[in-house]
Structure 1
Amino acid sequence: MDKYEDELARKRMQSEHEYHRVRNQELAKLQEESSIRQEQARRATEEQIQEQRRQTEREKTEIERETIRIRTMAEAEGRAHEAKLSEEMNRRILIERANGEQEKWISIINTTFDHIGVGGVTALAAGVYTTREGARVIWGYVDRILGQPSLIRESSRGKYTWSGMFSQAKSTLSRRSDLDYASKNGKGFGDVILHPSLNKRIEQLASATTNTKAHQAPFRNMLFYGPPGTGKTMAARELARKSGLDYALMTGGDVAPLGSQAVTKIYQLFDWAKKSNRGLLLFIDEADAFLCERNKTYMSEAQRSALNALLFRTGDQSEDIVLALATNRPGDLDSAVADRIDEVLEFPLPGEEEPNPQKIEIKGLTDDILKEAAAKTDGFSGREIAKLMASVQAAVYGSDDCVLDPSLFCEVVDYKVAEHQQRIKLAAGDKAS
C-alpha cells in the first residue's frame, strides 16, 4: 500500500514538473515574441523619425535653394534697375551740360559781338551750336534705345528698327527662291553639307520652328556642340533663314570684359531681340565662356550676375526668341542653362566617306589619289579641309604653268597632315603640363 502511494506521489510530482516546464516554455516564448514586437515597433518608430528628419532636411534645402534663386533674381533686377536709373541720370546730365555749354557760348558770343552790334551773327552761331549739341545728345539716346546692342557681332536685322525693312523683304524673296531650288535639287540646306542624319534633324527643326511661329506657340531652345569648324554657326544661320526668322550672332567671350555693365547689356540684348516682328534666333557661340557652372572658383561676380540675368530672361519659354547655344565643352555648362535646352545636336568631324563642302574636282587626279588623301585627312575639321584646299590653290597659282599634278597635290596634303599631327602633339603636351 505504501509503495502504491509513493508511486502515485511520484507520478503527481512528474506531472506537475512537466506542467511547470511547459508553462515556463510558453511564458519564455511569449516574452520572446513580445520582445520581438517591441524591437520591431522601436525600429519602425526610429525609421519613421529618420524619414521625417530626411524630409525636413529636403524641404529645408529646397527652401534655401528657392531663397537663393529669388535673392539672385532680385539682385539681378536691382542691378538692371540701377543701371537704367544711371543711364537716365547720365542722359539728364548730358542735356544739362549741353544747355550749360549753350548758355556759356551765347554769353561769350554776345560779349564778343556786343560792341559791333552783330546780333544776327550771335543768333546764328547760337542756333548752330544748339542744333549740333542737341542732335548729338538726342542721337546718342536714340542709339542706346533703338540701336543694335554692342554684344551683337552679326545680324540679319539692320542696326535700327527701320533700317532692316529692305533686307527683310530681300531675305523673304531669297528664302522663297531657295525653297524652290531645294525642292528641285533635293537639298534642304543649300551650301551647308552635313551628315545625312544631322541634316535631316535640322530640317525637321526648321520645319517645326516654322510651324511653331505660324501657330504662335513657344519656341524650343537648342544646343549645338562639337569640335570647331564643323558647321555649327552656318547651320544656325541657315536654320533661321529656312524658318523665316531673323538671326543674331554673339560670342560668350565678349561678356566677361564688360564687367559690371554685363547685366545691363544682357537686358538690352533681350529687349532688342523681342522687338523683331519675325521672331529671332539668338546664336551664342562659345557659350561656355560665360554660361559655365556657377560654383567655379575663377568665375567673377560680374560673370555670375550676367549668367543670372540670362537665366532670368530665359526662365519661361518665349514666343519671340529661339536661344541656340554652341560650345566645344557641353559638360561645362551650368545645370540651370542645360535645363533650358530642349534640343541637343552633335556636330561630329566629317568621316572619310562623308561629303564635304570644301572638296573640289580637279583634272589630272585619279579617284585612288583622292581616296588616299581623304584617308590621310581623316579627323580633319571642315575648317582644316578648307585651309588644305586653299593651300593647294596657292601651290597651283605659285607654279610656273599653274597646273595641279598628283605630285604637287600629294606634297601639299602630306605637309598639312604633318602640320595637323604636330598641332595635336602640342595640345597633348599642354594638357599634360
Structure 2
Amino acid sequence: MSWLFGYNKGQQAPPLVPGLPVPPPGGDGDGDKNKPKDKWSNFDPTGLERAAKAARELDQSRHAKEALQLAKMQEETLHLEQQVKIKEYEGALEQLKSEQIRVQAEERRKTLNEETKQNQARAQYQDKLARQRYEDQLRQQQHLNEENLRKQEESVQKQEAMRRATVEHEMELRHKNEMLRIEAEARARAKVERENADIIREQIRLKATEHRQTVLESIKTAGTVFGEGFRAFVSDWDKVTATATGLTLLALGIYSAKNATGVAGRFIEARLGKPSLVRDTSRITVVEAIKHPIKVSRRLFSRIQDALEGVVLSPKLEERVRDIAIATRNTKRNKGLYRNILMYGPPGTGKTLFAKKLATHSGMDYAIMTGGDVAPMGRDGVTAMHKVFDWASTSKRGLLLFVDEADAFLRKRATEKISEDLRATLNAFLYRTGEQSNKFMLVLASNQPEQFDWAINDRIDEIVNFDLPGLAERERLVRLYFDKYVLKPASEGKQRLKVAQFDYGKKCSELATITEGMSGREISKLGVAWQAAAYASEDGILTEAMIDARVDDAVRQHKQKMEWLKAEAKEGDKGTSKNPLQHLLEGTPV
C-alpha cells in the first residue's frame, strides 16, 4: 500500500480505483524550492495528507474492501517479482562464479603448459649444451690421444732406430772379432800343418796301403765264394733246369701282366674315365673320387633341385622349359626314349645353366662339350667322338650331353669351308645319333642354327629360343645377383663388405630400366663388379654412387660391343638375306 503514503517527484502514480475520487496533483513545489535542503528535503508531506484523505474516503466508500484486496495482490505480485529478480541475480552470481572458476582453471592450465614448454626447452637446451660439452670433450680427448699416439710412435721409431743402430754396431764388432779369430786360427793351423807336414804325409800313405790291401782281400774272397758256388751250381743239373724254368715263367708273367694292365686300363678309360672332348661333367669318375672324396659324397647325397632354380626367364619361355623338364624327368623314370633339344639365342641368356639344371632335376648326369674342341683334333676326332658316345652309353642314370657352340663342327657338309677330317667327325656324330636313345639325351646350343647340316636338324625334336631378358626379367636378375653378391655376404659378416643405407628395391628397379638389352651373364658380372668395388674401397662400404658408376661403365661397354657387332653384320651381309648377327641385334628368331 505504498501509494497511500505518497510518492516523490518523478515516481509513478498509483492506479485509479473505481468509485474513488482522483487525488489532486502533486503539491506546490514552488514554495519548497526556496527552503533549505537537509536530510528530509526529499520528503513530501503532501503525500501523507493525500494518503490520509484517501484513506478516509476509502473507508467511507463501498469498494474499500475490493481496493484493499487489489492493493494486497499488487504488493504480493511486486514481492514475487522482487523474489524472482533476487533468484535471477543469485543464479547470475553463481554462473559468474563458475565462469570465474573455469577461467581460473583455463589460465592455470595454460600456465602449466607454458611452464612445461619452458621446462622442456630449458631441458633441451641443457641437453644440447651437455652434448656439445661431451663432444668437445671427445674431440679434445681424441686430439690428446692422437697427440699421445704420435708421440709414442715417434718414441718407438727413435727407440727402434737406436736399437737398430746398436744391433748393427754389435754385429759389426762381432764380425770384426770373428774375422780376427778366423784369421788367427788359419794362421795357427797353417803353422801347425807346416810343422807336421811329414807326419801327415806318412799317415796318408799308411791309410792308402791298408785300404788297398783290404779291397784286394775282399775281391779275392768274393771270387772264391762265387767260383765255388757257380761250380757247385753247374755240376748239379737239376738246379740248372729249375732255374731256367723259373726265369722263363717269370718273363712270361711280366709280359702277360703288362698286356693285361693295358687292356684293363683302356677298358676303364672307355667305361669310367672322362673322354678328352668332355669339358665338364657331373658323372663321378674313379680319378675324381680319389682326388675329391668329400665333393663326390656330397654329389651322391644331394637332393633333386628345381629345373628353374636360379634361372630367370620370361613367363612364356619358363612355362615351356618347365614342361620339357617334367617330360624329361618322367621319361627317365619310365625308361623311355629321350627327346633331343636345340636351344638358340644370344650369348649369356641361360642356355648352359638350364641344361645343367635340367639334368639335375631329371636325376641324370650331364656332360658339357664345346664344338670348338672338335676341329683341332683332326683325324683323331672320329675316335674321340666314338669314345664320347661309348662313355655316355655306359651311364646308369642316363646322360644329358650338352654341346655348346654346336655350329662350330655340325655345319653343312656341302660347303667347301669344312675339312675332310671334320666331315668324317660329323659323319660319326650323325651315325651315333641316328636313332633316339634311352641312355643319353642330346642338347645343342648355338647362336647361328641356320648353319647346321640338314641331317642335324632332322635329329632335333624340340627347338627353344632363349631371347634377351625383358624389363621384369632384368629386375629379377638384378635383385637375384644383388642379393647373392652384395646383401648375403654383407649380412653374414664373413667378408670385408658392407652396404650403405639406401632404398635397395627402388635402386634395383632403376637398374633394370638402365640395363636394357643386356643379357643375364652381363647382369651377373655387374653383381661381381659391385662386390669388387666394395673390396677396393677404403672402408669396404658399397655406396649408391659406386653402384651407379659400375652400371654406367657396363652400359657404355655394352653399347660399344653392339656397335662392333653392327659393323661386323654390315661387312658379313653380302646378299639380300639378313646375317645371323642382325637377327641377334634385332632380337628376332633366325
Q: Give the TM-score band, short-chain normalised.
A: 0.5 to 0.7
Counterpart for residue 278 of structure 2: 152
| Preserved contact between residue 148 and residue 160 of structure 1 (Cα < 8 Å) | no
**Displacement after TM superposition at 1:313 (Å):** 1.2
**Displacement after TM superposition at 1:372 (Å):** 2.6
> Does residue 174 of the first structure (1) align with residue 302 of the second (2)?
yes
> Does residue 252 of the first structure (1) align with residue 371 of the second (2)?
yes
Q: 1:275 aligns with which of 384, 388, 394?
A: 394
Distance in 2 of aligned mates of 1:129 and 1:425 = 67
| Change over 3 Å in CA distance of 1:133–1:375 after alignment to 2 | same
> Does residue 385 of the first structure (1) align with residue 504 of the second (2)?
no
Q: Secondary structure of the equivalent of 1:211?
A: helix
Distance in 2 of aligned mates of 1:311 and 1:131 = 39
**Displacement after TM superposition at 1:236 (Å):** 0.6
Q: Secondary structure of the equivalent of 1:283?
A: strand
Distance in 1 of aligned mates of 2:437 and 2:429 = 13
Q: 2:385 aligns with which of 266, 273, 287?
A: 266
| Count of residue pairs brought into register by the alignment | 311
Distance in 1 of aligned mates of 2:372 and 2:356 = 20
Q: Secondary structure of the equivalent of 1:284?
A: strand
- Which deviates more, 230-239 or 165-174? 165-174
Counterpart for residue 341 of structure 1: 460
Distance in 1 of aligned mates of 2:525 and 2:288 = 39
- Which deviates more, 362-371 or 326-335? 362-371
> Does residue 373 of the first structure (1) align with residue 492 of the second (2)?
no
> Does residue 301 of the first structure (1) align with residue 417 of the second (2)?
no
The percent identity for this pair of structures is 41
**Displacement after TM superposition at 1:222 (Å):** 0.5
**Displacement after TM superposition at 1:168 (Å):** 8.2
Q: Normalising by structure 1, what TM-score? A: 0.63
Q: 2:501 aligns with which of 364, 374, 391?
A: 364
Distance in 1 of aligned mates of 2:299 and 2:415 = 42
Distance in 1 of aligned mates of 2:471 and 2:288 = 47
- Which deviates more, 352-361 or 417-426? 352-361
Deviations 1:272-295 (A, max 9, x none): 111111111111011000011112
Distance in 2 of aligned mates of 1:323 and 1:330 = 15
Counterpart of 2:508, as a letter, is L
| Change over 3 Å in CA distance of 1:404–1:270 after alignment to 2 | same
Counterpart for residue 557 of structure 2: 419
Counterpart for residue 35 of structure 2: none
Q: 1:320 aligns with which of 429, 436, 439?
A: 439
Counterpart for residue 536 of structure 2: 398
Q: Secondary structure of the equivalent of 2:472?
A: coil
**Displacement after TM superposition at 1:244 (Å):** 1.2
**Displacement after TM superposition at 1:213 (Å):** 2.4
| Change over 3 Å in CA distance of 1:422–1:260 after alignment to 2 | same
> Does residue 200 of the first structure (1) align with residue 323 of the second (2)?
no
| Change over 3 Å in CA distance of 1:143–1:150 after alignment to 2 | farther
Counterpart of 2:517, as a letter, is G
Q: Secondary structure of the equivalent of 2:471?
A: coil
Distance in 2 of aligned mates of 1:364 and 1:332 = 51
**Displacement after TM superposition at 1:426 (Å):** 2.3
Counterpart for residue 266 of structure 2: 141
Counterpart of 2:329, as a letter, is T
**Higher relative contact order (CA closer than 8 Å, sequence separation 6+):** 1
Distance in 2 of aligned mates of 1:339 and 1:272 = 24
Distance in 2 of aligned mates of 1:428 and 1:372 = 27
Deviations 1:270-319 (A, max 9, x none): 11111111111111011000011112221111111111111111111111
Higher-Rg structure is 2
| Preserved contact between residue 249 and residue 284 of structure 1 (Cα < 8 Å) | yes
Deviations 1:5-29 (A, max 9, x none): xxxxxxxxxxxxxxxxxxxxxxxxx
Counterpart for residue 219 of structure 1: 338
Distance in 2 of aligned mates of 1:386 and 1:171 = 25
Distance in 2 of aligned mates of 1:359 and 1:331 = 37
| Preserved contact between residue 370 and residue 405 of structure 2 (Cα < 8 Å) | yes
Distance in 2 of aligned mates of 1:323 and 1:400 = 50
Deviations 1:192-251 (A, max 9, x none): 232233223222212211222233321110011111111111111111111111111111
| Change over 3 Å in CA distance of 1:166–1:314 after alignment to 2 | farther
Q: Secondary structure of the equivalent of 2:316?
A: helix
Counterpart for residue 291 of structure 1: 410
Deviations 1:12-64 (A, max 9, x none): xxxxxxxxxxxxxxxxxxxxxxxxxxxxxxxxxxxxxxxxxxxxxxxxxxxxx
**Displacement after TM superposition at 1:427 (Å):** 2.7
Distance in 2 of aligned mates of 1:223 and 1:252 = 14
Counterpart of 1:265, as a letter, is A
Counterpart of 2:350, as a letter, is G
| Preserved contact between residue 281 and residue 324 of structure 1 (Cα < 8 Å) | yes
Q: Secondary structure of the equivalent of 1:223?
A: strand
**Displacement after TM superposition at 1:359 (Å):** 3.4
1:48-63 correspondence to structure 2 within 5 Å: none
Q: Secondary structure of the equivalent of 1:322?
A: strand
| Change over 3 Å in CA distance of 1:377–1:222 after alignment to 2 | same
| Preserved contact between residue 175 and residue 242 of structure 1 (Cα < 8 Å) | no
| Change over 3 Å in CA distance of 1:158–1:172 after alignment to 2 | closer
Q: Secondary structure of the equivalent of 1:174?
A: coil
| Change over 3 Å in CA distance of 1:407–1:251 after alignment to 2 | same
Counterpart of 1:145, as a letter, is A
Q: Secondary structure of the equivalent of 2:410?
A: coil
Distance in 2 of aligned mates of 1:279 and 1:168 = 18
1:12-31 correspondence to structure 2 within 5 Å: none
Deviations 1:139-190 (A, max 9, x none): 65345433221111111212359969998885464234x4xxx6xxxxx532
Q: Secondary structure of the equivalent of 1:175?
A: coil
| Preserved contact between residue 218 and residue 319 of structure 1 (Cα < 8 Å) | yes
| Change over 3 Å in CA distance of 1:137–1:216 after alignment to 2 | closer
| Change over 3 Å in CA distance of 1:192–1:368 after alignment to 2 | closer
Counterpart for residue 407 of structure 1: 545
Structure 1: runs of 5+ lacking an equivalent: 1-113, 183-187
Distance in 1 of aligned mates of 2:534 and 2:298 = 38
Counterpart of 1:141, as a letter, is R
| Preserved contact between residue 368 and residue 401 of structure 2 (Cα < 8 Å) | yes
Distance in 1 of aligned mates of 2:289 and 2:379 = 31
- Which deviates more, 189-198 or 228-237? 189-198
| Change over 3 Å in CA distance of 1:202–1:284 after alignment to 2 | same
| Preserved contact between residue 156 and residue 167 of structure 1 (Cα < 8 Å) | no
| Preserved contact between residue 157 and residue 168 of structure 1 (Cα < 8 Å) | no
Q: Secondary structure of the equivalent of 2:562?
A: helix
